[in-house]
Amino acid sequence: MAVFLTEEERAILNGEQGEARKFAMEILTTVAEGCGAKRLIPVQSVHLVLHTYKSCFDAGVEAAEKIAAMGAKFSVPTTIDPYGMDAEDWKAAKTPEHYAHMQMRLAKAIESMGVIPYWTCTPYYGFTIPKFGEHLAWTESSAVAFANTVLGARSNRETAIVDVCCAILGRTVETGLHLQENRYGEVRVNLELDRPLKQWEYGALGFRLGKTLGNRIGVVTGMQGTPTHENLKTLCAAGAASGSIALLHIVGITPEARTVEEAFGPKSPTAVYTITERDLLDTRSDMNTHKGNNIDLIALGCPQYTINEIVKVRDLLAGRKIASNIQFWIYANSFAIDMVEKMGVRKELEEAGVTIRAETCMIISPIHEWNFRVIMTDSGKCVHYGPMECNAEMVFGSTEECVEAGVAGHAI
Ligand code: F3S
């Protein structure tokens, strides 16, 4: 079936609005044909994943430069995933020279098209805040899961280059989670705990849900208490990494899942699972690929830390210092860093031995030069990618446990 194009879209395809928009329309119509979509739809914002030299290599940099050279400009608010290296001091972060050069070329090309230059995986904290029901073309699995699950917006997991085309046109392909019939729950997951989750349990629950659900849409019942935004950010990131969760219905939290009935709509569950406290403890044990207590790096901020989370680390340290045998890094975007600088918190943390790494993260920057063998983190997503991307064994714990380990110089 041919994709329906409006008069304006046909004009764009014919090149009447310039080379860049023609190119973008050719890509989007090809994607639409490939997935049997009927049409393109407007989006309110785009989030790009053509962001780091570590994953896009020379080909990605050259593609970004070619699209920029066509005169491409983004037509809707467009954010971008973290920078491929410490944006404040890449040399101190031991970034290889060639890598840094290529990262800067990539940034120059993307910035020339009009991206909002905060390099972050949490664009929903202040840059483009989606509303319920709004259509987005976002990449970054954790952000897509958060936008669908917590905010009730509608986005698929877009891919690099296609995301740039969406930003140029302000449109995406109407498929997948943009369509109501694809948003209903498929599997029921009963959380059997008669108390609110502890902080580390959100990461473990996300990790377990990802393994259990894969790409099926889960309807989670039994969530007690009032999880913070940060708890849900952690959960969504872990589930999107260990599985490919893009939408979860957490009954009572997800806007379109006020009840179990609403979450399933016309569908019935194809499977029912239960998750108990014991299951979360077992999951935590599986997440710990390192069984000893030595640690080289404690890496917090996956997804990047919010102001609240950075302040919490300062409070947990309570004037104590990080042991000299440990690197203790916090990843945050420059908005959060500006704020904690103004609050005096950055200075306090640095005096305690904490390094704040700007606009990047442990997974998408080249930290192999440090030869870390064991990394401790409070992030289920970091646990999933760390062994492959950082060539390290992982220790998972709560933020409190990470801070205590940092002060002690080993896992406790
Ligand atoms: Fe963000 Fe990097 Fe984690 S992009 S979600 S901090 S892997």
Q: Give residue-wise pLDDT tens across range 296-311.
A: 999 999 999 999 999 9
* Helix axes 229-242 and 380-389, enclosed angle (nearest 10): 40
CA-CA distance, 103 to 54, in Å (whole number)? 8
Residue whose CA is at the smallest distance from ligand 1 atom 1: 303
pLDDT digits (tens, 9 = 90+) for 166-222: 999 999 999 999 999 999 999 999 999 999 999 999 999 999 999 999 999 999 999
Q: What does CATH list as the number for 289-408?
A: 3.30.499.10
Instruction: Judge if the beta carbon of residue 236 lies within 6 A of ligand 1.
Output: no
For the CA of 381, the nearest atom of ligand 1: 3
Average pLDDT rounded to a whole number, residues 143-160: 98
> Across the beta sheet with 218-221, what order do the strands follow?
248-250, 218-221, 187-192, 271-276
Q: Same topology for domains 7-178 and 289-408, yes or no?
A: yes
Q: How far is the CA of 244 from the centre of ligand 1 (A)?
A: 15
Q: How far is the CA of 387 from the centre of ligand 1 (A)?
A: 14
Percent of the chain with pLDDT over 70: 100
Q: How far is the CA of 141 from the centre of ligand 1 (A)?
A: 9
Instruction: Judge if the beta carbon of residue 191 lies within 6 A of ligand 1.
Output: no
Q: How far is the CA of 142 from the centre of ligand 1 (A)?
A: 8
Which has the minimum average pLDDT: 121-130, 252-261, 323-332?
121-130
CA-CA distance, 391 to 394, in Å (whole number)? 10
Q: Can you give the pLDDT at residue 1?
A: 66
* Residue 142 in this model has a pLDDT that exceeds 80: yes
Q: How many CB atoms lie within 10 A of CB 316?
A: 17
CA-CA distance, 23 to 32, in Å (whole number)? 14
User: DSSP secondary structure string, 25-74?
Assistant: HHHHHHHHHHTT--BEEE-S-EEE----HHHHHHHHHHHHHHHHHTT---
Q: Which of 157, 236, 364 to mutate to test the pocket of ligand 1 (most atoms within 8 A of CB)?
A: 364
pTM: 0.98
Q: How far is the CA of 206 from the centre of ligand 1 (A)?
A: 15
34: Cα within 13 Å, side-chain hemisphere: 7
Q: Can you give the pLDDT at residue 128?
A: 85
Residue whose CA is at the smallest distance from ligand 1 atom 2: 361
Q: Beta strand 354-358 with 327-332: parallel, antiparallel or unpaired?
A: parallel
Q: Which of 381, 385, 388 to mutate to test the pocket of ligand 1 (most atoms within 8 A of CB)?
A: 381
pLDDT, the chain, mean: 97
Q: How far is the CA of 4 from the centre of ligand 1 (A)?
A: 36
Q: Can you give the pLDDT at residue 376?
A: 98
Average pLDDT rounded to a whole number, residues 279-286: 98
Q: How far is the CA of 402 from the centre of ligand 1 (A)?
A: 18
- Shortest CA distance to 8 belongs to which of 219, 237, 171? 171
* Residue 97 in this model has a pLDDT that exceeds 80: yes
7-178 CATH, one of 3.30.1360, 3.30.70, 1.10.3470, 3.30.499: 3.30.499
Residue whose CA is at the smallest distance from ligand 1 atom 7: 363
For the CA of 362, the nearest atom of ligand 1: 2
Q: How far is the CA of 86 from the centre of ligand 1 (A)?
A: 13
pLDDT digits (tens, 9 = 90+) for 5-20: 999 999 999 999 999 9
The residue ranges of every structural domain in the chain are 7-178, 184-286, 289-408
Q: Can you give the pLDDT at residue 126?
A: 81
For the CA of 301, the nearest atom of ligand 1: 6
Instruction: Judge if the beta carbon of residue 363 lies within 6 A of ligand 1.
Output: yes
Q: How many CB atoms lie within 10 A of CB 126?
A: 13
Q: How many CB atoms lie within 10 A of CB 88?
A: 15
pLDDT digits (tens, 9 = 90+) for 26-38: 999 999 999 999 9
Token readout for 271 is 């499977």
